[in-house]
Structure 1
Amino acid sequence: GAELLVKGNYQATGSGFQADFRLFDVQQGRLLLGKQYSGGPGDHKKMVHRFADEILFLLTGEYGFFQTRIAFVSTTSGKKEIYLADFDGSNFNRLTHHNSISLSPRWSPKGQEIAYTSYKDGNPSLYLLRLPGGQSLRISNRPGLNISPAWFPGGESLAVALSQPGGNSEIYQISRDGNILQRLTHGAAIDVSPAWSPDGKQMAFVSNRSGNPQIYIMQMATKEARRVTFQGNYNVNPVWSPKGDRIAYASMVGNRFDIYALAVKNGEAQRLTFGGNNESPDFSPDGRMIIFSSTRHGKSALYVMNLSGANQRRITFLNGEQFSPSWGPKKAEN
């Protein structure tokens, strides 16, 4: 039978309402947690999400992802623009109105900015979108590519892929105002899609230096890189888990992509998805869930699953296609 039971009720209070939630231990018949929230019309889901986080904190000592948001690309308007939604795909709104191609949104560690690439001025340039206002600031407009941003832990710098016209892309570390701090990769290969480990001591990235796109890990102290994917001829989109023990990525299986999780310690890879094209994974901030895009039901939409690949479900049902999700950080205070 059930071990825990949640009860709730609400009542109108002038222009808003008040909600009361209780968590009970069914077997012992006692109250474990009680919270009261006040808000305006439309705040009911925020209250439920907040109480869900309180329950998880009570049971595990850590807040979950119930008050987090996701950024993603959608073609709902007919163009590729950046959108924002709650963790479950609800309460979505459009952030950019460039009437162009905007790609690769990535949350800053503190959740106050989103880095992304846009072609709105012709060249693929790097921008920072500040929240909650939504102002965009261009920070890198170098000739060639300015793509695949990845925030360094702490948020004071980013890794990006830059290229000179006609040249291959290399990975650089730049300051938040766009100044180059250091070049991280060198050679004739194409190096893209950087992803920092949580402690900033390692960086995963994609390179074709072995012939096909594969995932490598660079030790930042020595700048030495080692290949970590050997299954499949096309492996891309690496992202580190919050605990640093796994890297999720997309691997081409036959003529389709699927999401895999690589154990950093021993290099073992586990396939998590089946059916359709499954790409662009990202971890929830507590590491319990993975968000990704999939075409399993036709057009690309966003899905979530447990870390093991279980309980896969669709969370976006907008017009057009949704892809390239980025899961925002936990709410700082509850």
Structure 2
Amino acid sequence: MNSLVYAAADADQMDVAPWVWYLTIGLMAAVLLFDVFIIARRPHVPSTKEVSVALAAYVGAAVLFGLGVWWFTKDAHGAKFMTEYYAGWLTEYSLSIDNLFIFLLIMARFAVPEKLQQSALLIGIIIAIVLRGIFIAVGAAAINNFAWVFYIFGAFLIYTAVKLAKEGEGDDDEYEENRFMKFVEKRFPATKEYDGAKLFTKVDGKKLATPMFIVIMALGTTDLLFALDSIPAIFGLTKDPYLVLTANLFALMGLRQLYFLIGGLLKRLVYLSLGLAVLLAFIGVKLVLHAMHENELPFINGGEHIEWAPDIPISVSLGAIVLILGVTTVASLLKTRKDDKAATPSA
């Protein structure tokens, strides 16, 4: 087999050479380290041109990667794996956009100076990547050994969708700290003033945390909570851990630029929570149907597969994701435009 990446016999996962894993993780780490080096040397508020070029590069790389997946597996279910990757990437990206609203609230809550926001976001994203990597490894091991875990993933996503839809009916503009953050603030006494991008500083000979440390912990743990939704969601679209990891990496890599580029637009996506709720509910139902189709639990249908339960094709899933996100965006913009006209006094 000459391909660097090729399909396994059951066509559910690719057989990726170990060095390809190492190369992928190494390249991503190099990009992040380059970002850290540049931003650490020159903290600043990025221009629209700067973030637009960087975001276009990340999105372009993500698209090209999907084509690369097809190229190296084209003789063995290449189109299927490419579609799974794109579906996963779009889902993770859309869920990451919801994260941005919380990030904005965190920045406002801790009054982060604009020139330090890039540093806070970057370090928070690095923490999120590490934590998601652990989640992905655990999730991959679970689905490979216990098919019934899809029942749990599906039920959790449906529950989350209902909860998200209800929350979307309100207008919550305040950041509510989780228990871990309350523990951190009590355990690490912090100064009131920022000391550049430093996480710790000395005051009267005593080492104290800076507000930057608290902000980074808030960003990292908040993304971890979102990962509880997004990781089960993407495993509902692909069982391949390599595709799950790369889709997450590409979604998170451009998140910092997206934060600065569409901060104002987030306020206009009034139906975002509702759209994401529909998206999670769809994937949740897909997971439950898949679990039924592959059922091995003895107390359900006598441990036999439920043949009438359809296994939704990935092409249908990708189409549904694009449709849901498209309708959500268009409906949101039409609603805000209508509201703006209604609020403008007639001459």
TM bucket (normalised to shorter chain) is under 0.3
Higher fraction of strand: 1
- TM score, norm. by length of structure 2: 0.23
- TM score, norm. by length of structure 1: 0.23
